[in-house]
Amino acid sequence: MTAAQAPLFEHSAWVEARADARPSSGDRHADVMAVVHDATPDEQLALIRAHPELAGKAAIDRTLTDASQAEQASAGLDRLTSDEFERFHALNAAYRERFDFPFIICVRLTDKAGILAAMEQRLGNTHEAEIATAIDQIGKIVRLRLGDAA
């Protein structure tokens, strides 16, 4: 699959399909994010849950999408020390326990230290705030992926 054909959303083709069924505004990012914002709370949670954990099992067993693999590598998540891996694993577990979905951040806009700091800080958020933050971060990921496809 080429960059131009790569899905914008992780395992959530329904977002692009719904955007394609609507009249276009001429701004693909706005169109697909309108679908996300118009989705039901359950659909939004499904979209969030479709994302892999950072430096998680999918990275180890190589089941990440090509886009996620490249994005995680850009932040150095494919080159973690054992201590860094353990820290990511502990924070991923704490985050999933608290929110029941994976931590999402646009890794291309930060680095390992920034990701770890954000994970620690965001553990203090409310569930509602974290859903909004995850959707905002997904929007940033999608904007970069659209730029890659251009």
| Cβ–Cβ under 8 Å, residues 149 and 32 | no
Average pLDDT, the chain: 88
The answer to whether position 5 is within a domain reads no
Helix (H, G, I), strand (E, B) or coil at 40: coil
Give the separation between CA 148 and CA 140, rounded to whole angstroms: 13
Is 98 a member of any domain? yes
Distance between CA 61 and CA 109 in Å, rounded? 25
Q: Please report whether residue 21 resides in a domain.
A: yes
What angle separates helix 41-49 from helix 127-149, to the nearest 10 degrees? 60
Question: Domain limits at 50?
Answer: 13-149
Per-residue pLDDT tens for 113-128?
999 999 999 999 999 9
* Residue 129, domain member (yes or no): yes
Q: Are 139 and 107 in contact (CB under 8 A)?
A: no
Which pLDDT band holds residue 79 (cuts at 50, 70, 90)? confident
CATH code: domain of residue 133: 1.10.3330.10
Cβ contacts of residue 40 below 8 Å, gap of 6+? none
Q: Is 51 a catalytic residue?
A: yes
Q: What is the mean pLDDT of residues 8-27?
A: 94
Structure tokens at 13: 């083709």
Residue type, 6: A
What percent of the chain stands above pLDDT 70? 89
Residue 9 scores a pLDDT above 50: yes
Q: Is residue 4 over pLDDT 80?
A: no
Dihedral pair phi/psi, residue 10, rounded to 5°: -65, 115
Task: Say if residues 111 and 75 touch (Cβ distance below 8 Å).
Answer: yes
pLDDT tens digit sequence for 28-78: 999 999 999 999 999 999 999 998 888 765 455 455 667 777 777 777 777
Question: Which single residue is written with the structure tokens 């996300």?
Answer: 36
| Active-site entry in 11, 29, 37, 51 | 51
Classify residue 4: in a domain, yes or no. Answer: no
Q: What is the pTM of this model?
A: 0.85
**What is the CA angle 88-90-93, rounded to 5?**
105
For residue 24, tell me if it sits in a domain: yes
- How many domains is the chain partitioned into structurally? 1
* Mean pLDDT score, 99-124: 94
**Does residue 101 sit within a domain?**
yes
**Coil/strand/helix, residue 105:** coil
